[in-house]
Amino acid sequence: MLEAVHLTKRYASLPAVQDLSFSLRPGQVLGCLGPNGSGKSTTVKMLTGLLQPTRGLVQFDGNNIQENLTEYRKLLGYVPEEPNLYPYLTGWEYLELVGTLRGMDRHDLESKINSLLELFSMHQSRHASIGSYSKGMRQRILLIAAVMDNPEIFIFDEPLSGLDVTSALIFKNLVQALGQQGRMVFYCSHVLEVVEKVCTDVLILRKGVVIAQDSVTNIGQLLGQSLESTFLRLVDDVDTMSVARDIVTVMTKAA
Amino acid sequence: MIGEAIDGVIRGLEKRRKRPFWRMVQLFVARIFRGGGESDSEGLDLGVGLVLTLLALPGGFVSILLFEKYGTLLQWMRGATNIDPFASTVPDEYFFITLSMAVTGMVAVWRWEAIFPDRRDYMNLVPLPVSMRTIFLANLVAVLFLVGLVAVDVNAASSILFPLVVGATQSAFLFFLQFAAVHALGVVLSSVFSFFAVFSVLGLGMALLPPRAFKKISPYIRTLVVMYLVTLLCTSFALPDLLHRQPGSAPTWMRLLPSCWFLGLSQLLLGHADRALLSLARYTLPGFGTVMVVAFCVYAAGYRRHFVRIAEMTEGESTERAARQSAVGRWLDRWVLCTPFQRGCFQFVWKTVLRSEAHRLVLAGIGGLGLVLASQALLTALQSEGSWSNALVSRDGLSIPLVLAFFVIVGLRLVFEIPVELRSNWIFRLTLDAEKHECEPLARKVMLEAVLPWVLLISFPVYVWAGGWEIGVLHTLVVVIWSVLLTDAALIRFRKLPFTCSFPLFQQHSIVTLLGCVFGFFMFAVVTPQFESWALAEPLRMIALVPCAAAAWYGPRYVRRTDLDIEKRMIFEEVPTRAVEILQLGE
């Protein structure tokens, strides 16, 4: 089980995340929602060990992940928010690099890369440089890199950005299948419908603090509304309709 | 009244600056300086001010160093009282011309990707109500502005300081003025020529080759251009002397060197050109004009072929390449690269060195310098010994593989520091164990892989042929052992994965490092071959090298042993040491 215990992160004394606690059990797909600046990315970075918490800790099976970060990361598949990849490597070379660094067997690595590239419709472009890839193609390379070593824990930060409809559908089904297989999935997104569809539980952040945490069905039932309405009610005090009307007014105003 | 007029002019300029055309010129100027190409690289982003300062530095430094040559007191102390300033400035004038050509040419090579508008510009500008011709003209104006700025910047310091230094030997102020004007004209014209010559060479490829072929070939052309520019700079050590000894007109090969044309022009304008220089000066204006016309034509053709048709070109074409590992790769994986870290990162390092433009160009520049010094050593050896076999086993001949090995090792060590796509290093942060101290063994293996194959496969048979088995084996052994020791010394306190760590440009120990390199070169490539040529007459003398090797082997190990564990931890960010550290204990 992966646990965040009273996680707090401050950047030069400004709090990004405050006293955040939650747990992620095998088979659970935990969606993390929140507006920009709510601390989602900071939370993800602390869960992956890329960032050390100012206070609190992340535990895996009762052990602080910082004590043996390398072992923990062997169990981790991560898709970051931005597809930052080395543009002069080809897709195949990048995956080979990741697989080698993860200590995968060479033969196993090659066959897995080829099969996954085929399944993600990237086989044709595998020897083109990443610099020439579209955002969706880069995202697919990141997804392959995250799943190819069969990890226990998955952390996805906006994994659908740039993906076409088919790839996005495949991915959504994949996330559900991973949950059914008993993997732990932490899923950060802005797209409420996706979270509602693929996640079993949801965590809503606002200004670095958890404001709601429960199963998707319970949260909806509790407030008697859809996840979108619940989210808007909890997180934003903005009347979205009136903002849209104001935009049209400004747009059409004569100079 | 005057104030109002100035205000009016400023307001007018401000208004003009905000017009669409000039906004676009500003955009292109900023892009040429700050980026371009396919990647959103943040590898080594230097500010405009810093770039201009760095470009201006060499000319300034060299001018200051010339005080020693032209100082009247020092001349008097040397007993040189009646010196002809025109004759004695020819080698320095030639050096300044080659320096300005080399620096400006390298700027053209470095910024080539950013000179032409790219796909990003296409996607941003073409949908706007701006004609293609306006975009073309705005980019052309930006390129001309860049050329003017670089030409003035590179030569500004030398155009003031050099005439000042030389003028101090003369009492007439008119001499200073004339000398300064001619010098400035010569170096600025040679700068502009160099920029457009590089532009023409690359642009011709762009205009004639299919886009995909040009994309593939362009990095190699640029590497060759950098090597040519370094070689051109190195001609300044020998060419003025050769010119001085020419009795008649200049030989044909000299007419092919544009730097000689500009030297001829400046001497002609000073009224002190001999027959050889006069014959060279004749080529300046036709050569300059031709290059300008060619550059403009290839720019227009390149713009039409590449920018206008960007939308028609596919973005991500795949080239079928064998993904299977080569036999050498399998052998390395099995016997040399012991851990997943080394296996993965070894490939990554080589791919970066070979594919990243900045790294390849820096390495080409350093390698070019090494090649020039090595060929100079070979020429000297051939001149003094007569036959190839005697030349190779002479002091200068023995130094050749040592010179090359030194520049390869030091060059690689330098490029390891230059970051590439820092935002992409998260994958290494995520997968590597920072406590394992594997960066140094990895870097050592990369460096030795760049040296040992050619030492064993080329240098060894050549020396066996030239001097027999004994000399061949002993010399190869020396080169190999010295290379291993130099690699060890170069990697003291190296704790980063090459290219993945931020790099502060100026560090406190930069000067010490530079002096260390000069001293290292002296010991490695000057003293060692000198000792070898003496010792090879009586091979037992080679034993004297053992204590030196032992000391060089022990030094880095001692430093490593005394380092704390925290000092060996792999880093991804290098921050300059602060005089005062704030302990944020409150957090």
- Beta-carbon separation of A87 and B333 below 8 A: no
B500 within domain boundaries = yes
Contacts of A199 (CB under 8 A, 6+ apart): A29, A30, A31, A185, A187, A216
Cβ-Cβ contacts under 8 Å, B347 against chain A: 93, 96-97, 100
Q: What pLDDT, on a 0 to 100 scale, did the predictor assign at position B37?
A: 47
Q: Which tokens is A36 given?
A: 């920009």
- Cα(B506)–Cα(B417) distance, rounded to whole angstroms? 12
| Interfacial A residues in 120-159 facing B (CB < 8 Å) | 124-128, 131-134, 137, 145
Query: A95 near A141, Cβ under 8 Å?
Result: yes
B421 by DSSP, 3-state: which?
coil
pLDDT in tens, B291-314: 999 999 998 888 887 777 776 665
Terminal CA-to-CA distance of chain A, rounded, Å?
Answer: 59
pLDDT in tens, B227-270: 888 888 888 877 887 777 777 777 778 888 899 999 999 989 98
Looking up tokens 């109500």 gives B129
B15 within domain boundaries = yes
Cβ-Cβ contacts under 8 Å, B584 against chain A: 13
Chains A, B: CB contacts within 8 A come to: 97
Cβ-Cβ contacts under 8 Å, A10 against chain B: 587
B469 and B529 co-located in one domain: yes
Residue of B557, B527, B556 whose CA lies nearest to B544: B527
B306 and B344 co-located in one domain: no
Q: What pLDDT, on a 0 to 100 scale, did the predictor assign at position B42?
A: 46
Residue B282 buriedness (CB in 10 A; 0-12 / 13-18 / 19+):
middle
B294 within domain boundaries = yes
pLDDT above 90 for A30: yes
What letters, b where the CB count within 10 A reaches 16 and e where it falls short, cover B236-259? beebbeebeebeebbeeebbebbb
Residue of A197, A240, A239 whose CA lies nearest to A216: A197
Q: Is A172 on the interface with B (CB under 8 A)?
A: no
Our CA-based measurement puts residue A190 at a distance from the nearest CA of chain B, in whole angstroms, of 22
How many structural domains comprise chain B?
A: 2
B70 and B171 co-located in one domain: yes
Q: What pLDDT, on a 0 to 100 scale, did the predictor assign at position B38?
A: 47
B342 and B253 co-located in one domain: no
ipTM over 0.85? The verdict is no
Q: What pLDDT, on a 0 to 100 scale, did the predictor assign at position B39?
A: 46
B581 within domain boundaries = no
H helices present in B235-257, as ranges:
239-244, 252-255
- Beta-carbon separation of B427 and A145 below 8 A: yes
B316 closest CB neighbour out of A73, A82, A137: A137
Identify the closest residue of chain A to B343 by CA–CA distance. A100
A54 by DSSP, 3-state: which?
coil
**Where residue B43 falls among pLDDT bands split at 50, 70, 90?**
very low
Q: What pLDDT, on a 0 to 100 scale, did the predictor assign at position B371?
A: 81
Range of the domain at A232: 2-75+152-252
Q: What pLDDT, on a 0 to 100 scale, did the predictor assign at position A224?
A: 59
- Cα(B328)–Cα(B463) distance, rounded to whole angstroms? 26
B152 and B254 co-located in one domain: yes
Q: What pLDDT, on a 0 to 100 scale, did the predictor assign at position B323?
A: 54
- Cα(B587)–Cα(B583) distance, rounded to whole angstroms? 9
Count other Cβ atoms within 10 Å, centred on residue B311: 10
A140 within domain boundaries = no
B305 and B342 co-located in one domain: no
A42 within domain boundaries = yes
Contacts of B193 (CB under 8 A, 6+ apart): B101, B258, B262, B287, B288, B291
Q: What is the residue-averaged pLDDT of chain B?
A: 83
B277 and B351 co-located in one domain: no
- Cα(B252)–Cα(B391) distance, rounded to whole angstroms? 28
pLDDT in tens, B347-376: 899 999 888 878 887 888 788 788 878 877
B41 and B140 co-located in one domain: yes
Identify the bridge partners of residue A33 per DSSP, sorted by sequence position: A204
pLDDT in tens, B453-473: 999 999 999 999 998 999 999
**Where residue B505 falls among pLDDT bands split at 50, 70, 90?**
low
Quick one: angle between helices B85-110 and B357-385, nearest 10? 140
- Cα(B214)–Cα(B197) distance, rounded to whole angstroms? 18
Residue of B111, B50, B121 whose CA lies nearest to B357: B111
B266 and B144 co-located in one domain: yes
B586 within domain boundaries = no
Quick one: angle between helices B211-234 and B357-385, nearest 10? 40
pLDDT above 70 for B501: yes
Query: B170 near B85, Cβ under 8 Å?
Result: yes
pLDDT above 90 for A16: no
Q: What pLDDT, on a 0 to 100 scale, did the predictor assign at position B477?
A: 94
Q: What is the CATH number of the domain that holds A163?
A: 3.40.50.300
- Cα(B376)–Cα(B474) distance, rounded to whole angstroms? 24
Q: What pLDDT, on a 0 to 100 scale, did the predictor assign at position B193?
A: 95
- Cα(B325)–Cα(A107) distance, rounded to whole angstroms? 11
B419 and B277 co-located in one domain: no
Residue of B224, B196, B220 whose CA lies nearest to B209: B220
B301 and B367 co-located in one domain: no
Q: Which tokens is A131 given?
A: 């610099």
B426 by DSSP, 3-state: which?
helix
The number of angstroms, rounded, from the C-alpha of A152 to the middle of its chain's C-alpha atoms is 15
- Cα(B542)–Cα(B474) distance, rounded to whole angstroms? 8
Query: A146 near A48, Cβ under 8 Å?
Result: no
pTM: 0.72
**Where residue A74 falls among pLDDT bands split at 50, 70, 90?**
confident
Range of the domain at B496: 337-568
A237 within domain boundaries = yes
Please state the rounded mean pLDDT for residues B99-122. 84
B40 within domain boundaries = yes
How many structural domains comprise chain A?
A: 1
| Interfacial A residues in 85-104 facing B (CB < 8 Å) | 85-90, 92-93, 96-98, 100-103
A98 closest CB neighbour out of B317, B351, B427: B427
Q: What pLDDT, on a 0 to 100 scale, did the predictor assign at position B446?
A: 94
pLDDT above 90 for B504: no
**Where residue B404 falls among pLDDT bands split at 50, 70, 90?**
very high
Query: A116 near A148, Cβ under 8 Å?
Result: yes
**Where residue A152 falls among pLDDT bands split at 50, 70, 90?**
very high
pLDDT in tens, A89-130: 899 999 988 888 888 888 888 899 999 999 988 988 888 888
Query: A201 near A29, Cβ under 8 Å?
Result: yes
B131 and B219 co-located in one domain: yes
A180 within domain boundaries = yes
Identify the bridge partners of residue A2 per DSSP, sorted by sequence position: A24, A60
A208 within domain boundaries = yes
A101 within domain boundaries = no
B211 within domain boundaries = yes
A209 within domain boundaries = yes
Greater pLDDT, B252 or A223: B252
A15 within domain boundaries = yes
